[in-house]
Structure 1
Amino acid sequence: MRGASHDQNGQLAFLRYAHEHLEDLVCGNGWETEFPRDVWVLRRLGMEGTGARLRFDRIAQPWLREPAKRFVHWRLSIGRSVNQAVVDILALNRFSGFLADPRVAAGGLAAVDRKVLERYLADLATDPRSTLTRSRDVSSLNAFFNAVRRHGWDDTLPASATYYPEDFPRPDKRLPRALAEQVMAQVEQPANLDRWHNPESRLLTLVLMRCGLRVGDACNLAFDCIVRDADGAAYLRYLNRKMKREALVPIDEEVEGEITAQQRRVLERWPDGSRWLFPAPRMNPDGTRPLTTHSYRGQLAVWLERCEVRDEHGRPVHLTPHQWRHTFGTRLINRDVPQEVVRVLLDHSSGEMTAHYARLHDTTVRRHWERARNVNIKGESVTVDPAGPLAEATWAKQRLCRATQALPNGYCGLPVQKTCPHANACLTCPMFITTPEFLPQHREQRQQLLQIVSAAAARGQARVVEMNRQVLGNLEQIITTLEADPEQPEATADAS
């Protein structure tokens, strides 16, 4: 069935399932039978929910293959993930290929000294793979060398065979890959969500978008995954497999209701129950296997094509489930949710990762600030040079003013160390600055001032009329200047 579409690849599912179980009966289970083999089938080792095979047959040197198997066995035994084991083996495979090069021709671990490792670093530097992937290779090899020495698997390994912190390739710090709101508006449409051909994948998509889970954690949700607090509010309980700990995230009534409906569907198909909220729909007659991320990704690609989701240029959108996690975090930051709260909701181990979302928000706000037209009480534009020597300091002051001295219709440009002498008369204050985003408030205040001036004139209150006419004059200048901004056509339209 190679090359078949996702909707067609289940025709031989039961035969594959039966073949696997017959194979297991013939080959046996457990480490005693699996360790001597050069290809490990993880389900025979009691690791549920994975069909992964760990291949050591691609390590050409027998003297490297044996300690490599002991290393991976040890890593799995202490609770490292299958994904980590795969990364370790890939790193050892590449290192094996390097050692087999005639220019290196290492005949044993005794030949793997610091000089050889430096040559391998130079070889990695020309590798077209990403910096992060190359850094993982170095990390896995270093862990391997340390384990060989610590456990005495080969006493000939030189003490100099190690990598130092400065040897690791430094990946660039990337901003979150949040999806554009135009794309999110399409994938969140109820009509498009209803285009899923099965309710399980529709629910899984809702969980990813609204809860910010990693796709692997979402696919492995337990059947009983809803817990409640003392107030009766519902939370989704899941295992953060990256951090190896349980975590909670609040859910809305719609997601809670959909989960309850999914639990009923699972019990209807598997009356004896399943430990998973999303059991694999195929090759799973007893309900013991969870849905795989590979299966969901395939369904996702078909669904996006079915919904004809397009980007701002009209091109078909290809997204990954993890981008919904980035979007979840970015939306929270953009709504001014405290960074520590976002960290807890995403279950980050530290604030460093969450800070990426805050940096994205800060970058976005600053870009709009630099492009916006800032106007003082005389209707004069206050220019900001983004490349000027005071740009960074000016933006820091603006952020502080927005946080501590925000007004209902603008911002105070006075340094916070000074005391304002104008006492709530901001529209007569030379330090007052405003932007087009406050046009609705300015227009509303103008209308109120006109009514006050008219009423005061009718009562003969000349002083009140004089005071408010000064404010009204400044307000008229501000509105006129802001409405004339060519980059804000919607403001002019609102005024008509």
Structure 2
Amino acid sequence: MTGGRDEATIDWVEAARVRCDPQALEDLWAAVPEPMRLLCFAESSVPPEYAGAFCHDGTWRAGVDLSQLPEPMRREVAWCVFRIIELGGKIPTPGLSMLVRRLGEVIADRAGRAPASLLGLPVRDWCRQIQHAVHRRRGRLPAATTMNNIRCLLTRMMRLLVTASDTGPWWQRDRWNPVEDNRIPLREHEPMGRYSVRFDRIGTRWLRRGLQWHCKVGLETGSLSWSTVHRRIVAVGEFDGFLGGRGVEGPWLIDGAAGMRALMLEFLGHLRARPVTRGRRTGRLSPASMQRLASDVEQFYLFMTDNKDAAAAALAEPGWRRLGPEHAGFYRRGELPGKPRPRLDGQVIDDDAMTRIMGGLDLLGAAVADGGFGDEQAMRITMLVALLGRRVSEICLLDRDPLLPLSPTAPASPGDPAADGDELGLVAKLRYQQTKIDGGPDTIPVHAEVVAIIREQQQWAQRFLAEHGAPGRTPKYLFLAALMNRNGDRPYSGTVLRNLLTDLAVRLDVRDSTGALVDFNRTHRFRHTVATRLLNSGVPLHVLQRYLGHLTPTMSMTYAQTLQSTAEAEFLRFRKITADGRELEVDPRDLYDMLELDRRTDRILPNGYCLLPPRQVCGKGNACLTCDKFATDATFLPELQIQLVRTTQLITERRATFEARTGHQMGEDNIWLAGRHQERDALGRIILTLGHTRLADGTAGAIRGAGVEARTEAITGKEDNH
């Protein structure tokens, strides 16, 4: 066990060791089932329901003899064995046997001076004593690999002991591990529920304790998720580093609103200048990272300001009561970097590249001996992500049986896709875990292909648990973690999947139409691709919104874009008519290019298009209907009809006013009346022509908006004609 991360775990165990309650160890022993209170863990003594949790080798047959240990230590080791099994882990029988023998040698050498409990010495002291005992017997130190294994297992067991025997409030611990401490309130399906968090990285005690209380209250009330807790610790840790050396005395940070304002602007400058220290990126922090860090610190202080009296009482830190309005919001509108609008260019995978990717996914499931990666689950997860456009976490957290009937009259559980109906039709609903958007939809309709993939995975999971799981266990998830999962309650890791896809992307070397590498290990590209294909196939936006599990159309449009081919095809569906009712001589494709290349909104009129070149200025005011640069099509027909009615009504009203004022009728040679007659006649010709004009594809279909199936038919017809 090496590295800074492991050393930090040993330091935490040492700090927590002094808080253990001796009486709690008695309670732990009482929780061990009678059949597991053994002096020797061996093939002949361990009950069958627990035997599968031990590594079966020569050591297992001989057994792990605890008789050489003092009674308290014997109970501690036995409880640790049971606890590891209870959490779904595997007992490394050779390592456990080695550790017990070395502990017995240390106790024998010290002749009554050795502690009777594992918690009697720090991990490092136990390791030094073991090395000395081996050296005395063999004249040499144990191998580095052997010591690493011993240190690893000893740290794991002592971590379990101090976690279980620390009877103080759970939130006051410097490390929160929801796997080992079920008092930590998590959602039923938590994507990051297997990852612990560390508060000991925050050196300032009042700041660390304040953040712990904030996160505790947030988890208990549901206002914070576990992933937000991870993020907030990172942000406050950054803030703690910034405060170092600035003479901050307490939670109020600095006296006066002006000083507070200056301090937090200085923190923002600190973030702007901070270099990236992790990941593949280099240079400064991205605007999104800066915004996230600054906003999390601001939200933390907003909460503490709103609850300053309760915080001061719970933390025994009166300094929190000194928070005021200046702590409730640090930044003004526009001061924090805005989240850049996601660029859709390059996010959508084209059809040729997608075909190659899907054709190469079998490498994920193929055996390693055959040149594959040997992970069938990764293959099926990627297939579902690509077919459905779901997030990776949503697929990894699928229930064991996530399929629902498509309608109340459908079978309770979709079976054989071929027997359920049309293989190309929707045959079931898929229920997924909506862990990102509260209140968002959590079901989507799926085709027979998806049902077949899920049924195949269910069979695989059943075989896996029969071989590796605890007897009688029913898995919680459809896709299962391969390690530490005898109970079937750990989902497949999204990190493992992305690492495999990174290797697969390099091996397949899929290129898009521009020759760029398609990095589909960025799995959100599949989500962009599915959303864009649905939108361009004529799926209404509100349907796309529900399919993606979003609450607003704006969220859905972040993932989808109208393809150039679809936009052009939609424009070309309608014939273009000039002001005198004749068909426009300009090729509609040229007109589309003119409007698209220039993107001039002043050339798009309420009732048509202006064909005046971009660099020329119109000198005719609003006399578009008598201008040779005016063009329109059937999409503007409702506006043109309204304009005709209004023009006719205006002529009638003005002629009546003229007669009332002068006593004479307005003559046909009146310049104003002549102009209005020209406009009315032009409108009549245009409306008459459009009423008898078919679409560019030869059909006379009704005018429809974007996102309807009829649009796709016209596009298909156009493509078939080429």
Under a length normalisation based on structure 2, what TM-score does the superposition of the two structures give? Answer: 0.51
1:279 has 2:480 as partner = yes
Q: CA deviation at 1:344?
A: 0.5
Look up the match of 1:78: 221
Look up the match of 1:343: 545
1:143 has 2:261 as partner = no
1:235 is aligned, of 419, 429, 435, to 429
Read off the aligned partner of 2:448 and give its amino acid letter.
E
1:89 is aligned, of 233, 242, 264, to 233
SS in 2 for 1:218: helix
Look up the match of 1:194: 362
1:253 has 2:448 as partner = yes
Q: Give a deviation string over 1:54-88, Cα, whole Å, max 9, x none.
A: 12222222221110111122222233222211110
1:214 is aligned, of 383, 391, 396, to 391
Tell which deviates more after alignment, 302-311 or 251-260. 302-311
Look up the match of 2:145: none
Identical counterparts, % of pairs = 21
Look up the match of 2:171: 35
Closer, same or farther: CA 202–391 of 1 in aligned 2, 3 Å: farther
Q: Give a deviation string over 1:383-404, Cα, whole Å, max 9, x none.
A: 4354375556269958xxxxxx
Contact 2:288–2:338 (8 Å) recurs in 1: yes
Closer, same or farther: CA 51–494 of 1 in aligned 2, 3 Å: closer
Q: CA deviation at 1:308?
A: 3.2
2:494 is aligned, of 287, 290, 293, to 293
CA distance in 1, matches of 2:585, 2:90: 72
1:45 has 2:181 as partner = yes
Look up the match of 1:324: 526
Q: CA deviation at 1:353?
A: 0.8
SS in 1 for 2:519: coil
SS in 2 for 1:286: coil
Q: Give a deviation string over 1:185-205, Cα, whole Å, max 9, x none.
A: 22233xx23222233222211
Structure 2 unaligned spans of 5+: 3-88, 93-148, 255-259, 275-283, 312-319, 366-374, 411-426, 467-472, 578-582, 610-631, 642-686, 700-717
Q: CA deviation at 1:313?
A: 4.2
Q: Give a deviation string over 1:400-434, Cα, whole Å, max 9, x none.
A: xxxxxxxxxx964765433531376538xxxx8x5
Look up the match of 2:688: 421
Closer, same or farther: CA 390–55 of 1 in aligned 2, 3 Å: closer
2:587 is aligned, of 381, 384, 388, to 381
Contact 1:34–1:41 (8 Å) recurs in 2: no
Q: Give a deviation string over 1:100-123, Cα, whole Å, max 9, x none.
A: 1x4x33222222423312222233
CA distance in 2, matches of 1:208, 1:394: 43
CA distance in 2, matches of 1:392, 1:41: 62
1:182 has 2:352 as partner = yes
CA distance in 2, matches of 1:86, 1:96: 15
Closer, same or farther: CA 125–107 of 1 in aligned 2, 3 Å: same
SS in 1 for 2:477: coil
CA distance in 2, matches of 1:296, 1:423: 56
1:120 has 2:120 as partner = no
CA distance in 2, matches of 1:150, 1:293: 37
Aligned length: 412
Read off the aligned partner of 1:276 and give its amino acid letter.
Y
Contact 1:212–1:328 (8 Å) recurs in 2: yes
Equivalent positions of 1:129-140 (< 5 A) are 129-140=285-296
1:225 is aligned, of 396, 402, 409, to 402
Look up the match of 1:481: none
2:604 is aligned, of 372, 390, 393, to 393
1:333 is aligned, of 528, 531, 535, to 535
CA distance in 2, matches of 1:353, 1:244: 14
Structure 1 unaligned spans of 5+: 3-11, 399-409, 443-489
Which runs of 4 or more aligned residues in structure 1 lie more than 6 Å from their structure 2 counterparts after TM superposition? 16-21, 367-372
- Structure having the higher Rg: 2
Q: Give a deviation string over 1:324-360, Cα, whole Å, max 9, x none.
A: 11211111111121100000001102222113356x2
SS in 1 for 2:555: helix
Q: What RMSD in Å do the two structures reach over aligned CA positions?
A: 3.8
Look up the match of 2:321: 155
Read off the aligned partner of 2:226 and give its amino acid letter.
V
Closer, same or farther: CA 129–14 of 1 in aligned 2, 3 Å: farther
SS in 2 for 1:67: helix
Q: Give a deviation string over 1:183-234, Cα, whole Å, max 9, x none.
A: 2222233xx2322223322221122122221111211111021101225331
CA distance in 1, matches of 2:350, 2:90: 38
Read off the aligned partner of 1:172 and give its amino acid letter.
P
Look up the match of 1:111: 253
2:459 is aligned, of 254, 264, 267, to 264
Look up the match of 2:503: 302
Closer, same or farther: CA 394–164 of 1 in aligned 2, 3 Å: same
Q: CA deviation at 1:310?
A: 2.2
CA distance in 1, matches of 2:443, 2:568: 35
Q: Give a deviation string over 1:255-308, Cα, whole Å, max 9, x none.
A: 101211211221222242210000102232332211111111112222323333
CA distance in 2, matches of 1:13, 1:392: 71
Look up the match of 1:465: none
Contact 1:208–1:218 (8 Å) recurs in 2: yes
Contact 1:114–1:160 (8 Å) recurs in 2: yes
Contact 2:402–2:430 (8 Å) recurs in 1: yes
Look up the match of 1:205: 382
Contact 1:217–1:238 (8 Å) recurs in 2: yes
CA distance in 1, matches of 2:539, 2:291: 34
Larger RCO (CA under 8 A, 6+ residues apart): 1
Under a length normalisation based on structure 1, what TM-score does the superposition of the two structures give? Answer: 0.72
CA distance in 2, matches of 1:44, 1:288: 14
